[in-house]
Copies of this chain bind each other. A is one copy, B any other.
Amino acid sequence: MKRKVCVVITSRPSYSRVKTVLIALKNNPSIEFQLVIAASALLDRYGSIVNFIEKDGFEITARVFNVLEGENLTSMAKTTGIGILELSTVFDNIKPDVVITIADRYETMATALSASYMNIPLAHIQGGEITGNIDEKVRHSITKLSDIHFASTKNARENIIRMGEDPEYVFNTGCPSIDIAAEIIKNPVLNFDLYKKYGGVGSFPDISNGYIVVMQHPVTTEYSESKLQIELTLEAVYSQKLPVLFFWPNIDVGADGTSNGIRSFRENKKPDNFHFFKNMESEDFLKLLFNSKCLVGNSSVGIRECSYLGVPVVNIGSRQTKRERGINVIDVDYNLDLIKSSVYYQLNSEKRQTDFIYGNGKSGELISDLISTLKLRFHKTLNYN
């Protein structure tokens, strides 16, 4: 009898991040793979991933709309409550042997809680990392609900064990997002027509002589500042006179502050070197990063994938604070002059080497192997003595 392994995807970035895990699970002959799509992963506003998923050859076992409108903290909590209510019904109907939850966005707690309350063994990808931001609460709380841990780094694995988890169930598998980076690096040519394939709005600058990529998410607990923050970043890259490829942030409290900042920048400056994208297939995005001169913003891709790709990064603000990083990253506060000078420095620096801190490119296979063979259990105790 095949082991039923269920992955719940709740956002676009999560899908990209674990795609190699999904492929490995689907191809594993001892696994019956179940894929549930929920929350912002289904919403057009943040770029529904349903089309990508089907194009990638996956079947969707169930889909659940559970994002409550409001873009405030109350609606985030309620979204999680609805997610639990509904995912429990899904699990009761499809009866997985083990559930995999990913990272630390607030909706992932719904997956973790439903599974663990239903005594379904729970595996967690990307636990144990110290980042200094509000996501740590969710991340470590999920660790304490999880039975199996697939950490992305040596340090993360050690943190999980220090929190009292049984070392036999804590693995440093590397981060699955690095698997895709490892593929990209073998053939990084930009073999698609950027503007035609991805639409978007703004100007259509010629990128053949180099360009900057920007991806900046609002920070959950600093709602009112998100407008100011995006304006500083926009101004700083605007001043560099290079083409800028700008990616809209995904859902979170503060999204509207950020959106408004972008809109007024466009109306006031009418910049002729900016193009704005809503979303992009992850492989294409990594190619774009690999060929860029610099990534600016606060995306975790700058810390993870770019360490492997060797792309220079200007990482702004507190969102990635404390996260382990390679030497490709310069950290900077929300200060116009500092952002400007850091971007300038990175634009003029040499490409760095691949850093294996976040994995060696085989993470998906390793997770699939482990999940199909591990002795499953849902009962544990604090491993202190």
Contact = CB atoms under 8 A, between A and B. Distances in A.
B140 A164 contact: yes
A341 interface: no
Contact of A137 (B63, B116, B136): B116
B70 A68 contact: no
A206 interface: no
A165 to B, nearest CB: 10
A221 B119 CA distance: 8
A69 B81 contact: no
A91 B69 contact: no
Nearest to A155: B384
Question: Which of A90, A93, A142 is the most central at the interface, judged by chain B CB atoms within 10 Å of its CB?
Answer: A93
A63 B92 contact: yes
Contact of A75 (B65, B70, B73, B137): B65
A66 B65 contact: no
**By DSSP majority rule, is chain A's interface helix, strand, loop, or mixed?**
helix
> How many subunits of this chain does the assembly comprise?
4
A45 interface: yes
A65 B89 contact: yes
A77 B117 contact: yes
B69 A74 contact: no
A382 to B, nearest CB: 5
Interface residues of A, number: 69
Given A84-B84, A88-B78, A130-B382, A70 B67 contact: yes
A136 B382 contact: yes
A86 B78 CA distance: 8
A109 interface: yes
Contacts of A132: 381
Nearest to A385: B130
Contacts of A270: none
Contacts of A81: 80-86, 88, 110, 113-114
B130 A381 contact: yes
A117 B80 contact: yes
A380 interface: yes
Contact of A86 (B83, B86, B140): B86
A69 B45 contact: yes
A43 interface: yes
A369 interface: no
A64 interface: yes
Nearest to A80: B84
A118 interface: yes
A253 to B, nearest CB: 9
Interface in A182-238: 221
A374 B76 CA distance: 27
B68 A66 contact: yes
Given A113-B80, A117-B76, A382-B130, A64 B89 contact: yes
A133 to B, nearest CB: 8
A106 B163 CA distance: 21
Nearest to A69: B67
A70 to B, nearest CB: 5
A370 interface: no
Nearest to A383: B130
Given A74-B92, A144-B144, 11 more contacts: A68-B69, A74-B88, A74-B91, A74-B118, A81-B86, A81-B110, A86-B86, A109-B113, A119-B221, A140-B164, A163-B163
25 contacts: A42-B70, A44-B256, A62-B93, A65-B68, A65-B69, A65-B75, A66-B68, A67-B69, A73-B117, A76-B117, A77-B88, A77-B114, A81-B81, A81-B84, A81-B88, A81-B114, A84-B84, A89-B89, A119-B134, A130-B381, A134-B378, A136-B382, A140-B144, A159-B384, A163-B382
